[in-house]
Amino acid sequence: MPWEFRATCPECSHEWEALTYTEWIGSATSDTPVRRFFCPDCTTHVSIATDFDRASFQNWLRGHQHYLTASGFLAHNIGLIVAICDSTPGYLLPLDTLWSQLHCPPCDTPLVEGSMDAHPVTCPNCGKCNAKSHGCHAHVSVLRDVDDQT
């Protein structure tokens, strides 16, 4: 579900509204430990469950194969976990190497840990990454092709 947010750029005084999305990698239950990242250029957020072991990740992936074709953003970042899974013999997945590799392919931008509530975003007018979001003010109902079909 996208949220609408408003942001202003201190460099060029541009003010704009846009939508932000949160994607999930892993099951979203309230007691799942997650780390949250976002792309400062397109403000796509991703919440990643950190309690994956090999079996639970493969299980999750089987149920979310459509993610890999629906979104280049998800396909890339899920692919990083698949690579860890393939190169690690143990039961536990060493996700430590994952966090620094997360990337937004459409923007060609490394993801930043946290959310745009606390970090600057890129101004679409001047391109400087110093703009401040004023937070989300509306839930927007938009049909998306990446919507979870489960």
**Which of 143, 138, 136 lies closest to 121, judged by CA?**
136
Question: Given candidates 7, 21, 23, 39, which one binds Zn ion under the rule CB under 5 A?
Answer: 39
Residue 57 tokens read as 């990740």
Q: Which stretch binds Zn ion (CB under 5 A): 24-32, 46-54, 63-71, 99-107?
A: 99-107
Cα–Cα distance measured from residue 94 to residue 88, given in angstroms and rounded to the nearest whole number: 8
Among 3, 4, 14, 34, binds Zn ion (CB under 5 A): 14
Q: How far is the CB of 58 from Zn ion (least distance, A)?
A: 27
The CB-of-1 to Zn ion minimum distance in angstroms stands at: 18
Question: Scanning the structure block, which residue is given the tokens 């004023």?
Answer: 134
Indicate the Cα dihedral angle 96, 101, 93, 22, nearest 10°: 100
Question: Cα 116–39–53 angle (5° rounding)?
Answer: 100
Residue 74 makes contact with Zn ion by CB under 5 A: no
Examine residue 11 and tell whether it contacts Zn ion (CB under 5 A).
yes
In the list 41, 56, 76, 101, the residue contacting Zn ion (rule: CB under 5 A) is 41
Would you say 85 or 124 has its CB closer to Zn ion?
124
